[in-house]
Amino acid sequence: MRKNRKKTEFFSCLLGLFLLFAVFLTGSLVKAEEKTHTIWFFFEKVCASCHEEENFYDLFNRCVTTEEKSSISYDIRTYNVFKSADEDVYEKALKESGKEKADVTLPVLYIDGKWLSGYDKIEQELHSVLFGEETTIEVSEKNTEKNKTSEENPEWSLPVIEAEGKEPAVLLFTTYSCNDCEEIKEYLKELQGQESFALTEVNVAEGENIRLFKELLRTFGRNQDDGKVPAVFAGEVVLLGKDEIRENLPGLLEKGEAPYEKLEEKWNSLESGENVTAASLATLFGAGLLAGFNPCSISMLLMLFSILITTKASVLKNGILYLIGKYMTYLGLGLGICFAASRVDQNLLGRFGQILNGILVLLFLFVAVMNFVDFLNVRKAEYGKVRMQLPKKLRHLNHQMLKKASHMEGAFLGILILGLGIAISLGEFFCTGQIYMASILYLLRNAREQWLSLLGTLMVYVTAMSIPAVVILAVIARTKGTGRVSDFMLKHMGAIKLLNGLLFLFYAAYFLLK
């Protein structure tokens, strides 16, 4: 009896769980069948005091009643396409729906695969699209190719500034219905009563001025996502927002750090689309090739190959692994340095740029002189007096790591060699990194903040730096000896030191003249 009761209770629980699961499953299926409306609102806001999202939510509440909202499922998201991440979402949505930027106008609503451009259109047809009613939506496909060409080749013109030479000049970016912009315009008029300067205003909402604003932000070294109006460009500095302008602009004008000629230099780079030129690439390739003959680097390479030959390990295979580790390290270090430089406050650099430039010129001159001294010592065969090389302790540490590698075999040896390529390259950086650092600074002066461009240019340098090592590897793999390479390096060490000195002299002259 008790046994049957337990069975009954067990089956009852089982049936209850089954019914519960069935209810849950049915609810899930019903919910899955319920359509969720995709509502994405795209706009371009640079005004610090404007609230575009709130304007859209107010519009949505006017078009859809509370009862209607409760009867549907919808997902509202807002995107400011002035920000890079939000612009990516916008471009992806356009691409997936087969549209081009020229087909729509911001602000635009993307709802259930349909595009509504402008507040008037959104307000007229939002309700109809949301509830499946008849609409008048017909995006015209006429002149699409013409508009597309116009979009791919946007034309914007630089504003005319009534100033020249060292006369102070201020370029102000504003937009419509911006309280902060109106406040700053009044402030600048008052400031003109205290400091004499040419003031030019540009409205980002007119023509292609928003693209001009973005280009100027990039040219002045500021992150596009931080861009907002009111914004002031003066000298080599950009000030974003009313607080930055009030806090910093009077000091710039008082110290004479807002001359028109500095602003004009930026114009020239903008008009010419200044980027990494062929001359810059040739300079970096030559610098990389010269760095590849650095005695510090070559000595480590020869020692590694000597150990591999002694242990009868594959020189070619392990040499390639070592060079891969070295290539990865230098490329990673270069990207890290560029990233760190891009995080530096550009306004701070603008104020102390001349001091920093002077320090760099002195450092380059010092390294150039030391290389010339080393050249003279090598000519006298006084190799013990050579100064521009790795410290003894660091050389000893690298030698010890290489010797330990001789006790490894098989796959473990390959992994260790790859790791040694990374570790030794980090240690060598104190010596070979001198040219690399100077070249990166030169690169940053000639390129905007475009990571693909920087990556490609760094690869040019690192590839050039790897060429001598690859040639040496091929020679040693074939001859099974390091004597020929050692003799070559000893014979041409003086020439390498001389070229190093001339390269740093070039960098010093370049930064001095720039």
Whether 216 contacts 267, CB under 8 Å: no
Whether 283 contacts 442, CB under 8 Å: yes
Whether 326 contacts 294, CB under 8 Å: no
| SS3 labels along 105-161 | CCCEEEECCEEEECHHHHHHHHHHHHCCCCCCCCCCCCCHHHHHHHHHCCCCCCCCC
Whether 505 contacts 373, CB under 8 Å: no
Sign, CA dihedral 332-333-337-343, equals positive
Q: Which helix (H) or strand (E) holds 412?
A: helix 410-446
Q: What is the pLDDT of residues 479-495, one digit of tens each?
A: 877 777 777 777 877 88
Domains of the chain: 23-151 (3.40.30), 169-271 (3.40.30.10), 278-513 (no CATH)
Question: What is the identity of the amino acid at 501?
Answer: G
**Cα-based angle 427, 429, 431 (whole degrees, multiple of 5):** 100
Q: Tell me the C-alpha distance between 54 and 6, whole Å.
A: 62
- The whole-number pLDDT of residue 144 equals 40
- Evaluate if residue 225 carries a pLDDT over 70: no
pTM to 2 decimal places: 0.49
Phi, psi dihedrals of residue 201, rounded to the nearest 5°: -105, 140
Mean pLDDT of the 84-113 span: 84
SS3 for 176? coil
Q: What is the pLDDT of residues 364-382, one digit of tens each?
A: 888 888 888 888 888 888 8
What are the E-state strand segments in 313-428?
A: none
- Evaluate if residue 272 carries a pLDDT over 70: no
- The whole-number pLDDT of residue 20 equals 45
- The whole-number pLDDT of residue 305 equals 78
Q: Tell me the C-alpha distance between 323 and 308, whole Å.
A: 14
Alpha carbon separation from 122 to 54, 58, 78, 87, 504 (Å, rounded): 15, 12, 14, 20, 61
Mean pLDDT of the 198-218 span: 81
Q: What is the pLDDT of residues 384-396, one digit of tens each?
A: 777 776 666 766 6
- The whole-number pLDDT of residue 324 equals 92
Q: Which helix (H) or strand (E) holds 198?
A: strand 198-203
- The whole-number pLDDT of residue 486 equals 77
Whether 235 contacts 252, CB under 8 Å: yes
**Is the pLDDT higher at 427 or at 127?**
127
Q: Which helix (H) or strand (E) holds 80?
A: strand 73-80
Q: Tell me the C-alpha distance between 38 and 42, whole Å.
A: 13
- The whole-number pLDDT of residue 395 equals 63
